[in-house]
Amino acid sequence: MITTHPFYDEHGDKLREECGVFGAINAGDDASAATALGLHALQHRGQEAVGITSFDGKHFFTRRGLGHVAENFSSPESIAELPGHMAAGHVRYSTTGGAGLRNVQPLYADLATGGFAVAHNGNFSNAGALRAELVQKGAIFQSTSDTEVVIHLVATSRYPTLRDRLVDALRLVEGAYALIVMTPEGMIACRDPLGIRPLQMGRMGDAVVFASETVAFDVVGAQFERQVEPGELIEVDFEGKVKSFRPFGESPSRPCIFEHVYFSRPDSVFDGRSIYEARKAIGQQLAIESPCEADLVVPVPDSGVPAAIGYAQESGIPFELGIIRSHYVGRTFIQPSDGARHAGVKRKHNANRAMVEGKRIVLIDDSIVRGTTSLQIVEMMRDAGAKEVHFRVASPPTAHSCFYGVDTPERNKLLAAQMELEPMREYIKADSLAFVSIDGLYRAVGEKPRVAKCPQFCDACFTGDYPTSLTDLEMKEKGTAQLSFPVNKVA
C-alpha cells in the first residue's frame, strides 16, 4: 500500500539540473533549426520552458515558450520567425528566480554597444546581493532570474570593449556558470573558473557550436572538438575566427561530479569519459563495496540502468527489468484526487510481477533525495511479491543543498541530512541499504580517491565542501539583508 510521509513532494524526488544551453554561429540559414534540434537533445536538462534568440546581421529575434522544445519549435513557421546565421537557446527548470515566461532565456537587452543576448546554465550564489545593490543604484529589472544581473553589470561597466565589460561583470559574480552570449560582433562562450557547470565546443561544417553536452553535437551532426576549459572565454566572429582568452587565471577545476551520476545523458562524454561507462563503473564499485545475496538486480528506471548493469556484471547476479517505466506521463498530468496524487510513483513505474514475485532483489538507483520515491518503489516491489528488497545507491548520501544551478530541496528536507543509515533504511522499508562511498565514486569516474584539501570535483551535495563563497545564503541566515529573490528556490 502506498502511503504519504513528511518528506513527500508532488514535484518528484530527484535532483534536477536546471538548464541546458546550445549555440551556433556561421551556420547559414540553419542556425535556429540546429539550435532547436540541439535543445531537443538537451531536453532532459530542463523541461519547464525553452527559448531561442537569433541574429541576422542587423536584428535580433526571440521566441520563447513554456513546455518542451517540440511544443514550441516543431513547425517550420516557428523556425522561420528566427532568421539568421547565429542563434542560441536554452531549456530550463527554475531554481533562483522561479517560473514564468519573463524568466525564460535567452535574456535580451539593447545596450549602448548594441544587442546583447545571454543563455546561462548555473547559479550565481551572490546574485541577490548584487541585484539589491544594482536596484539601489537605479537599475530596473525585467525578470527575477539571476542571469539578468550579468546584463546590468555589463551595461554599467566602464571598460571599452564588450568582451572586457563581460569579464568585468563576471569578476563580480560568484558561483557557477556556463554562458553563451550573442552580440552584433559574434558569439562568446565562457565557463566559470572552477568549471562547475559543463560547456562543450564543436564544429558543424563552417559553423562553430557550443552545448552543455556532447550528445547535442551527435544529434545535429556536429563534430565534438573539445570542452570549454574552466575559466576560458571563447570569442567567435562572423569571419569564423576563434579566439581563446583566460582572463581569470588558472586554478584547480571542480566540475560537478553529479554529471557523471545523473544529469548528463548516458550517450554524452564529460571530462573525456563516456557517461555510460562511468555509471557502469559506479555500479561495479557499489557491488564491490556493498555485496548482497540476491536473485536479481533490478534498476529503478531509467537513471539506474547503467549502474545496475555494472552491479550485475561485477556481482554475477542476473539483471532484469523488474520495474517498467511509462514514458508518456507529463509533468502536468491531471490528478483526480489527493490519493491518486500521493500514489504518483505508480503513474511512472509499475512492478514487473512475473520477474520479482518470490525473488530476493537488489534495487539500484542513482540517488536518494527526500526518500519518498525510494519508499514507494520498495513498497511496490513488496506488493508485487518480492521476498526481500535490498536498496543500493550509485552515489553517496545527498546531505547538502546545491547552490550552483541544481534544483535541490532545502537541507531539512534531504533524508540523509536528517537520518543516519539505519533510520534511512527503516524509513524506506528496505531489508538493507548501502551507498557507494565518496572515494569509490571518485575511483569509478577515473580519479584517485578524494583529496580533502583540494577535491577534484564539486561534490558539495555529498560533503558540504562548497568550492565558492555563498554570499546570499550567508546574508539570509544572518538576516542582514533583504534579498530580491529566494535563495535556492525549489521549482
Say whether 54 sits in a helix, a strand or coil: strand
To the nearest 10 degrees (0 to 180), the angle between helices 147-156 and 127-136 is 50
Q: Which residues contact 189 (CB under 8 A, 6 or more apart)?
A: 23, 178, 179, 180, 181, 199, 201, 210, 228, 233, 234, 236
- Rg of the chain, C-alpha, whole Å: 23
- Cβ pair 90, 18 in contact under 8 A: no
Greatest Cα pair distance, the chain, in angstroms, is: 72
Residue 199, CA atoms < 13 Å, CB-side half-sphere: 33
Instruction: Write out the catalytic residue numbers.
Output: 19
- State the Cα angle at 293 between 292 and 298, rounded to 5°: 70
- State the Cα angle at 251 between 21 and 411, rounded to 5°: 60
Q: Which residues contact 478 (CB under 8 A, 6 or more apart)?
A: none
Burial class (CB in 10 A: 0-12, 13-18, 19+), 477: exposed
Identify residue 135 by its one-letter amino acid code: V
Distance CA 395, CA 368 (A): 9
- Cβ pair 17, 47 in contact under 8 A: no
